[in-house]
Chains A and B, each alone.
Chain A
Amino acid sequence: MSELVINDLHASIDTDAGDKEILRGVTLSVESGRTHAVMGPNGSGKSTLAYVIAGHPKYRVTSGSITLDGEDVLAMSVDERARAGLFLAMQYPVEVPGVSVSNFLRTSVTAVKGEAPKLRTWVKEMKEAMADLQMDPAFAERSVNEGFSGGEKKRHEILQLALLRPKFAILDETDSGLDVDALRIVAEGVNRYRESSGAGTLLITHYTRILRYITPDVVHVFVDGRIVESGGADLAEVLETEGYERFITAAQPA
C-alpha cells in the first residue's frame, strides 16, 4: 500500500510581469488502487499541478509539501521521482527527434527498474504492450512523438505507463483530442494497468467523457488553483449537466 500526499501546495511561475501564483493551496491524498479525477475549467492549473508533482523546473513551489510514502518528493530530481514510482502522462508529449521509441522505452525501463531488461523478454513485452494498444510494430522505429498524431501521442504515453509500471499515474488530459475509438483503446489501457498493478491514479480532465470508461472513486472540482469541492462519481454527473459555472462563481474572492 502506497500513498501520495499533497498538502497545502502553493506554486508559482516566473512571467515577464513578475511572479504569478497558479497553485493556491492544493490538498489531496491518493492511495494505491484508488482513482481520483481532478476536473476543472481550462486555465485552472490542472497541468501545473501535474507538472509540479513531476518536478518541471519551470514552476517554483513556494509552500506546502508532496510526499510519497513519507518521502519528500519535492527534494527529488525529476528522474528520481520517476524512479520512486511516479509517472506523468503529459497533455502535450514532447518530440525528441532522432531518438527511436524502442531506444527511448528501453532506456527508460532500464533507468526505472535499475537494470536492463533481458533482450528477448523485453522485445516480447514491448510488442505485447504495443499490440494491447493497437499500435503498429513499425511505430517502435519512429522518433519519439515526432510527427505523431494526437491519438498516437496519447497511446505512446499509455504504452509507457504499461512498461514503466509506476506506483502512481498522473494522467493529464489523456482523453483530449481523441476520437471515440482511440479514447476507448486508451481508456482500456489505463484500466488494464489499474487492475493489474493496483496503482493509484490521478485522472486530470476537462470533460466527463473519459469517466464513462474509467470510473473514479473520488471526483475533485479544481478551480483557480485549488480544489473547491470533492465527492463521489456522481459529482462528475453534476458537472456534466451544470458545467463549472457554479464553482467558478463560488471560487471568486468577494
Chain B
Amino acid sequence: MTIAPPHDLAPRIASFDADSFGMPTGRELEWRFAPLEVMRPFFEPIDGAGTVTAVSTSELVVNSAIATASSTWVPTDRTAAVARAGARSAVTVNVPRDANLVDPIVIRLDAGAEFAYQHVEINAGAFSTAKIVIEAHTGADVSGAIVVNVADGADLTLLIVVDGPKTHRLIAHIPATIGRDARFTACTVTLGGRAVRLLPSVHYAGPGGRAELLGVFLAEGEQYLEQRIFVEHEQPHCSSNVIYKGALSGAHAHTVWIGDVLVRREAIGTETYEMNRNLLLSDGPRADSVPNLELETGDVVSAGHASATGRFDDEQLFYLQSRGIPADLARQLVVRGFFADVVGRLGLPEWRDDVMQRISARLGMADEGASDD
C-alpha cells in the first residue's frame, strides 16, 4: 500500500459564484493536462446557450424549471459554477422509496443547441432498486452536472454512454452521495467527443455504503478524454472499488485518468481499491494515469491502487492469426477482451453487448477515419 504525500485531495472551494474560482491557467493540478484552448468556451457564460433536456419513455424522468432543482451539491470548479448559473431547466429522476424497478430507465440527453448547459438530478429513494442508462450524444458542446443521491439502503446502477462524433466537447461533474448501507454502481463509457472531461465523485452520508466506479474509454485521432475521480471516505465501514480501462490509437490521442481516494480519520474499516489500465494500440498516443491514495487512518480493511499502461501485445495477435483469424478481427478480439472484465461487472446484461458492439464499431472504423458519424 502506498500513502501519497500529505496533501489534502479534497477540493478547496465550493461555490455557486464562478468568480470564486480563478480562470484556469494550466498550472493548477486539476487543469494540468486538459487542452485549455479547446475547453475555454466553458470558462465564461455563453449568451444564448441552450439547456439539455431529457427524452425518455419513463414517467419518472421529468424536465422542469431550474428553480425546482433540489440537490445540495455546490459546484467545485469554475466550469461547474458557470454551467449551474447558465442552466434554465433541470432533468430530474426520482425513484420512489422502496420501488423495485426491473427494467432500466433509459434517458437520452438532448442538447437542443450547438452549446448547452446541463443539470441532471437522480434521486434513488430509500431502499429502492433501479438501473438508469444515460445516453449523452457528443454532437454538441455540453457542460454541467449529473448529481446523484442514493438514499439509505438503496441500490442504484448508472450507466453513462458518451458516444457520437469526435467534434464536440463535454464536461460532466458526476457527484454522488451514498447513504447508509446504500450501493452505487456507476459505469462511464467514453467513446465520442473531441475533448471530454468526466468528474465522478463519491461521498458517503452514512456507514456501510458501497460504491463501484467503472469506466471504459477509447481514444482515437485527436481525442482528449479525461476521467478525474474523487472518492472521499468520511464514514466508517464503507467500500469503494474504482476500475477504469482505456484503449488509445493514433498519434495524437490523449487520455488522462486521475484517481484521488481520500480516507478520513473517522473512516475506519474502509475497503478501497482503484485501478487503471491502458492499452496503447499504436505508437504515439499519450495515456496519463495518476492514482492517489491518501490515508488519514491506518485502521482500514484494505487500501490499494494499481496503474499500468502497456502496448498492444503482438504475441496475442500472432496467436489468433495463426488460427486463421484475420489481423483486423484479431485486434478487435484482443481489445474487446481487454475491456471484457470491466464491462462484465456492469449489472445491465442487456447493455453489455451494446457497449461491446459500440467498441467494436469504433475499432472497425478506426482505420478508415470514418468514425465521425
| Interface residue total, chain A, C-beta cutoff 8 A | 30
Q: Is B334 in contact with A164, judged by CB distance below 8 angstroms?
A: no
Question: A82 contacts B323, CB within 8 Å?
Answer: yes
Shortest beta-carbon distance from A107 to chain B in Å: 6
Which of A90, A98, A111, A112 gathers most chain B CB within 10 Å?
Answer: A98
One of A51-59, A186-194, A208-216 at the interface: A51-59
**A96-B337, A98-B338 in contact; A160/B319 too (CB < 8 A)?**
no
Q: Which residue of B is nearest A160, CB measured?
A: B323
Decide: B334 and A77 in contact? CB cutoff 8 A: no
Tell whether, in the assembled complex, residue B336 and residue A94 are in contact, meaning their CB atoms are under 8 Å apart. Answer: no
- Across the interface, A98 reaches (CB within 8 A) one of B325, B329, B340, namely B340
Chain B residues within 8 Å of A78, by CB: 318, 321-322, 327
Given A96-B333, A98-B336, A99-B336, do A57 and B318 touch, yes or no (CB 8 Å)?
yes
Identity of the chain A residue whose Cβ is nearest the Cβ of B319 in the assembled complex: A94
Set of chain A residues within 8 Å of B324, measured between Cβ atoms: 79, 82-83, 108, 111-112, 164
Q: Contacts of A64 on B, CB cut-off 8 Å?
A: none
**Does B339 interact with chain A (Cβ within 8 Å)?**
yes
Query: B310 to chain A: closest CB distance in Å?
Result: 12
CB nearest neighbor in A for B333: A99
If A77-B327, A79-B327, A107-B329 touch, whether A96 touches B334 (CB-CB below 8 Å) is: yes
Give A108's nearest chain B residue, CB to CB.
B323
Cross-chain contact B341 with A98 (CB below 8 angstroms): yes
CB contact list, B296-330 vs A, under 8 A: 313-316, 318-327, 329-330
A37 interfacial contact with B, CB 8 Å: no
CB distance from B21 to the nearest CB of A (A): 41
Q: Which of A82, A97, A104 has a CB less than 8 Å from the CB of B338?
A: A97
CA distance A54 to B340 in the complex (A): 29
Chain B min CB distance to A155 (Å): 16
Say yes or no: B321 contacts A99, CB within 8 Å.
no
**A112-B336 CB under 8 A given contacts A56-B318, A98-B341, A107-B329:** no
**Residues of A close to B313: CB separation below 8 A:** 94
Give the docked Cα–Cα distance between A90 and B320 (Å). 12
Q: Cβ of A93 and Cβ of B327 under 8 Å apart?
A: no
Encoded as 1 (CB less than 8 Å from any A CB) or 0, chain B from 334 to 351 comes to: 101111110000000000
CB contacts under 8 Å to B, within A74-97, are: 77-79, 81-83, 87-88, 90, 93-97
How large, as a class, is the contact surface on chain B? 20 to 34
* Per-residue interface assignment for chain B, residues 352 to 366, with 1 indicating a CB less than 8 Å from any chain A CB and 0 otherwise: 000000000000000
Residues from 53 to 72 in A contacting B, C-beta threshold 8 Å: 54-57
Shortest beta-carbon distance from B17 to chain A in Å: 47
With a cutoff of 8 Å between Cβ atoms, the chain B residues found around residue A164 in the complex are 323-324
Docked Cα-Cα span, A164 to B323, in Å, equals: 8
Contact residues in A for B323 (Cβ distance below 8 Å): 79, 82, 104, 107-108, 111-112, 160, 164
Measured between beta carbons, the chain B residues less than 8 angstroms from A176 are none
Q: For B333, list chain A residues within 8 Å (CB).
A: 96, 99, 103-104, 107
Q: Report how far A190 CA is from B247 CA in the complex, Å.
A: 39
Q: Is the CB of A57 within 8 A of B314?
A: yes
Interface flags for A144-165 (1: CB within 8 Å of B; 0: not) read 1000000000000000100010
Please indicate the chain A residues that have their CB under 8 angstroms from the CB of B336 in the complex.
Answer: 98-99
Q: Does A230 contact B (CB under 8 A)?
A: no
- Min C-beta distance of B216 to chain A, whole Å: 12
User: Closest residue to A51 on the B side, CB-wise?
Assistant: B318
Q: Given A79-B326, A94-B315, A96-B333, are A104 and B320 also a contact pair (CB < 8 Å)?
A: yes
| Interface membership of A102, Cβ < 8 A | no
CA distance A171 to B318 in the complex (A): 16
**Is residue A143 contacting chain B, with contact meaning CB distance below 8 A?**
yes
Q: Is the CB of B318 within 8 A of A98?
A: no
Please indicate the chain A residues that have their CB under 8 angstroms from the CB of B338 in the complex. 97-98
B342, closest chain A residue (CB): A98
Given the known interface contacts A57-B314, A94-B315, the answer about A88 and B322 at a Cβ–Cβ threshold of 8 Å is yes
State which of A79, A87, A160 has its C-beta within 8 Å of the C-beta of B321.
Answer: A79
Residues of B that sit less than 8 Å from A by CB: 313-316, 318-327, 329-330, 333-334, 336-341
**A-B pairs, 3 with minimum CB distance:** A98-B337, A98-B340, A82-B324
- Pull 17 A–B residue pairs with CB atoms less than 8 Å apart, ordered by A: A57-B314, A57-B318, A78-B322, A78-B327, A79-B325, A82-B322, A94-B315, A99-B333, A99-B334, A99-B336, A99-B337, A99-B340, A103-B333, A107-B323, A111-B324, A111-B326, A111-B329
Instruction: Kindly list 14 other residue pairs between chains A and B, CB separation below 8 angstroms, not including A79-B321, A81-B322, A108-B324.
Output: A78-B322, A78-B327, A79-B327, A82-B322, A82-B323, A97-B337, A98-B336, A104-B323, A107-B325, A107-B333, A108-B325, A111-B326, A160-B323, A164-B324
